[in-house]
Amino acid sequence: MEDFYAHIAEEDSEIYKALQGEENREALGLELIPSENYVSRAVREASGSILTNKYSEGYPGKRYYGGQEFTDAVEMIALERAKKLFGAGYANVQPLGGANANIAMYFALLEPGDTVLGMDLSHGGHLTHGHPVTYITKIFNFVRYKMRNIETGEIDYEEMHAIAKKVRPKIVLAGFSAYPRELDYKKFVDIARDVGAYAVMDIAHIAGLIAGKAAKNPFDYGFDVMTTTTHKTLRGPRGGMILTRESEEIARKIDKTVFPGFQGGPHMHTIAAKAVAFGEALRPSFKTYALQILRNAKAMEDVFKREGIRLLAGGTDNHLLLADVYGSLGISGKEAEEILDEAGITLNKNAIANDTRSPMDPSGIRFGTPAITTRGLKEKESLRVAQSMVDILKHPKDQQVRKSTQEAIKELSTTFPIPERFA
């Protein structure tokens, strides 16, 4: 295969060296960060396409610059495919990322000082759902709900309802970044309807599972809006999107808030890459892929349970797992991340519910199966990866265990190279 970066090699040796290094890192190790994946060459080509040259402020048919025949076509294709994938009435594919999508959604549906009821970051929520370090909390009032039982992952819906009746939020927000169970969408909608709030779901982590019919679609339960990234399980370029179930009024507010409210010219090369990824996700093979993500995650869960390592929420219903390595093995999440990284397994340290350690050196690790599933690993191989992880985490100073783990990961990465379509 010809060098994907041949022109960069001629023009900029320093950047070429870094890109080649990343190519090798991804090829020779196993990626378990649940928010990462391998995109197809078609997505990468679209992302680096000629559309990066074009300014397209506005929306299809309503641009501020001329020469929009092909950009309009690309964005319309992306919109139609997005709506078909998620059963949405309206879509906006211009947000530059998931955080941008959430911020635009807040400003479209709220007035300054309004309240949002969202999931606590320490219990699996997302930074953009109202963590005090974010600037959005200076404008809107965020109140958080938590799990009732961190051993099973059960959300305290009764407490959530009581809080909602007390604070009268304008948005009841579902979604997460480190929560491994499936939410009860009907309860979220019932609570939102009872207090006159919008029901919004941030599906960033599980968008691909929803698109592949491996997870429930919140729109089927009456959610008004969904926000998402377009990478992660959806296996598209890094970017964001906002979907509206049926309200044209809400969709108009969202469009106006995205542009001109927060963004100028959309990144049309990225929108083209989104369109390509949506087209891939509409294929029958993507359903097979999404289901295999879940099967692989359950296989890894089995190993960690058998080995006596505590899993937050007791396991997983989706693509990710959260393990308490400090409580189970006496090593911090940071130490575990470094040990596994050395062995060729990439994941991330992560705080757990009620963590007594700092976020930069927490008690847990977060890992998942989207990327290894793209490589073709199935349950048998996922069991082996999980066992290798456990072995080295239980015996971090045993050089023989380190060596055997490194050899096992090298063998798996060689046996299951990144498919040519994604390499």
Domain boundary among 228, 262, 281: 281
Q: Is 55 noted as a catalytic residue in this protein?
A: yes
CA distance 179 to 150: 10
Residues 274, 327, single domain; the answer is: no
My answer on whether 226 and 367 are in the same domain is: no
Q: Any idea of the CA torsion for 62, 64, 67, 70, to the nearest 10 degrees?
A: -40
Exposed, middle or buried: residue 114 (CB in 10 Å: 0-12, 13-18, 19+)? middle
Confidence category of residue 63, pLDDT binned at 50, 70, 90: very high
* Residue 138 lies inside a defined structural domain of this protein: yes
Characterize the bridge pairing of strands 90-92 and 364-368: unpaired
Q: Are residues 177 and 326 in the same domain?
A: no
Mean pLDDT of 194-223: 98
In a domain, 114, yes or no: yes
| Confidence class for position 1, pLDDT limits 50, 70, 90 | very low
Which one from 128, 229, 230, 405 is the annotated catalytic residue? 229
Neighbours of 286 (CB within 10 A): 21
DSSP state of 261: I
> Once rounded to an integer, what is the mean pLDDT over residues 270-285?
98
16 part of a folded domain:
no
Q: How far is CA 132 from CA 18, 26, 206, 340, in A?
A: 35, 34, 25, 31
Q: What is the pTM of this model?
A: 0.96
Q: What is the pLDDT of the chain when averaged over all its residues?
A: 96
Query: What is the extent of the structural domain holding 233?
Result: 45-281
Report the C-alpha gap between 228 and 235 in whole angstroms: 12
Residues 329 and 390 in one domain: yes
Q: Is 57 a catalytic residue?
A: yes
pLDDT of residue 132: 87
Task: Give the count of domains, the chain.
Answer: 2
163 and 297 within one domain: no
CB atoms within 10 A of CB 363: 27
Told to judge if 232 belongs to the known catalytic residues of this protein, a careful annotator would answer yes
Could you tell me which of 112, 119, 165 has the C-alpha nearest to residue 141? 112
Last residue of a domain, one of 255, 281, 307: 281
Catalytic residue, chosen from 83, 84, 146, 238, is 238
Identity at 195, one-letter amino acid code: V
Q: Are residues 261 and 376 in the same domain?
A: no
Residue at 398 is within a domain: yes
- pLDDT(395) > 50: yes
Catalytic residue among 36, 45, 57, 355: 57
Q: d(Cα 239, Cα 248) in Å, to the nearest integer? A: 23
Please provide residue 366's backbone torsions phi and psi, each rounded to the nearest 5 degrees: -120, 130
Q: How many CB atoms lie within 10 A of CB 335?
A: 18
In a domain, 33, yes or no: no
Tell me if 378 is assigned to some domain: yes
**Residue 278's pLDDT band (boundaries 50, 70, 90)?**
very high
180 contacts 215 by C-beta, under 8 angstroms? no
**How far is the C-alpha of 279 from the C-alpha of 54, rounded, in Å?**
23
423, two tokens: 């390499």
Which CATH number covers residue 341? 3.90.1150.10
Helix axes 69-86, 268-281, angle to 10 degrees: 40
Q: Are residues 241 and 318 in the same domain?
A: no
Mean pLDDT for 187-201 is: 98
User: Same domain for 389 and 242?
Assistant: no
The verdict on 273 and 301 lying in the same domain is no
Q: Which residues pair with 173 in a beta bridge?
A: 200
Q: Are residues 272 and 356 in the same domain?
A: no
Mean pLDDT value across residues 12-24: 96
- The CATH number of whichever domain residue 101 belongs to comes to 3.40.640.10
pLDDT at 161: 97
Domain end marker among 253, 281, 309:
281
Mean pLDDT of 151-164: 94
Same domain, 180 and 320: no
112 and 243 co-located in one domain: yes
Backbone dihedral angles phi then psi of residue 56, each to the nearest 5 degrees: -140, 50
Q: What are the angstrom distances between the C-alpha of 343 and each of 1, 297, 346, 386, 406?
A: 28, 20, 9, 13, 5
Q: Could you say which of 31, 75, 202, 381 is catalytic?
A: 202
Question: 240-244 and 225-229: which strand pairing?
Answer: antiparallel
Q: Would residue 26 count as lying in a domain?
A: no
pLDDT at 381 over 60: yes
pLDDT of residue 123: 87
Average pLDDT over residues 168-195: 96
Q: How confident is the model at residue 2 (pLDDT cuts 50, 70, 90)?
A: low
Which of the following is catalytic: 5, 16, 55, 157? 55
Residue 51 within a domain: yes
**Exposure letters 246-274 (e unless 16+ CB within 10 A, then b):** eeeebbebbbebbbeebbeebbbbbbbbb
Averaged pLDDT for residues 246-273: 98
Residue 214 neighbours by CB under 8 Å, 6+ apart: 287, 290, 291, 293, 294
Angle among Cα 227, 263, 202 to the nearest 5 degrees reads 10
111: exposed, middle or buried (Cβ count in 10 Å: 0-12, 13-18, 19+)? exposed
Other beta carbons less than 10 A from residue 213's beta carbon: 12
Neighbours of 231 (CB within 10 A): 26
353 token code pair: 């519910």
